[in-house]
Each structure stands twice: as C-alpha cells, then as structure tokens.
Amino acid sequence: MLNLKKIKTSKIYKNILPAIIIIFIAVIVFLVLNYISSGFSKILSFLKAPHPYENSIILFYQDNCDHCEKVDNFIRDNKVEEKVAFVRLNVYGSPENINILSDKAQTCGLDVKIIGVPFLWDGKNCILGDVEVINFFKTQIAVKK
C-alpha cells in the first residue's frame, strides 16, 4: 500500500529545501557585499553596545607628535575646550583607542593602515591633519562666540 503521508512530506521538503538554500546564499552574499563596502566591524556593529563617544567630537592624538602639538597649542591658546565639547583620545599604547580610530576611519572609507594623527571625528566626518583640524575648531569657536 502506498503511504500518502510520506509522499506529502517528501514534496514539502523538496519545496522548502531549495528556498532555504536560496535564503542562505542571499544572506552570505549580503554580508560579503557589506564587508567589501564598509568593513567587517560595521556589519556586526548591531551586536556591540554603543560606544560612549558615539556621537561626540573626538580628537585622536599621540604624545611626541609635532602635528598634534600644533593642534594642542591652538586649542590651549584659543580656549577651545571652554567653547567646544570634545573628547581627546591618545592612541599611543591604547588598543581600545586605536580600534575606535580605525572604526571611524572605516566609516569614512579610509584605509586604516595609512591613517595618522591628529585625526578628528566630528560625529559624521573624518578630518585629517593639523591644518584641517585647526580649521575645524576655528569654525566651531566662531559659531559658538
């Protein structure tokens, strides 16, 4: 005697299995394309708790850096810290701060292997070099006056 239950079950598996495979392949393709366009850390960012500096202006610097010293002198001479809220993060010897810098650089599409300091994250954009960072602060303190 023919078992109709087995026939119905096997037809269901024949229909569902290709759909599951197609969905799995689509997810893999999506993850690979996102990795190519924005880096792996951005793909999995939903798994991480938001960073305390997520929406802050962040100035990345390093001790014994001539360009960082120029920015620091400008900040001190113009009392920028009294007028603009920002966070300073020293990248020297701090893997956590280096990771934050790398994440911000990847967000801007920059090659993390060739970035340096001073590096400023304004909450949306990356600003590189002492001249550009100083210009950023000049515009900020002009607005705050």
Read off the pLDDT of residues 84-125 as tens digits, 9 standing for 90 and up.
999 999 999 999 999 999 999 999 999 988 899 999 999 999
User: Which residue shows structure tokens 């950023």?
Assistant: 136
Q: In Å, how far from its chain's centre is CA 84?
A: 22
Instruction: Check whether 32 has a pLDDT greater than 70.
Output: yes
Q: How far is CA 52 from CA 2, 16, 29, in A?
A: 65, 44, 32
Q: Which fold has domain 58-144?
A: Glutaredoxin (3.40.30)
- Residue 6 identity: K
Q: Is the pTM of this model over 0.85?
A: no
Helices assigned H by DSSP within the chain: 4-38, 40-43, 66-77, 80-83, 95-107, 130-144
Q: Mean of the per-residue pLDDT values for the chain?
A: 84
Asked if 122 and 107 touch (Cβ cutoff 8 Å), the reply is: no
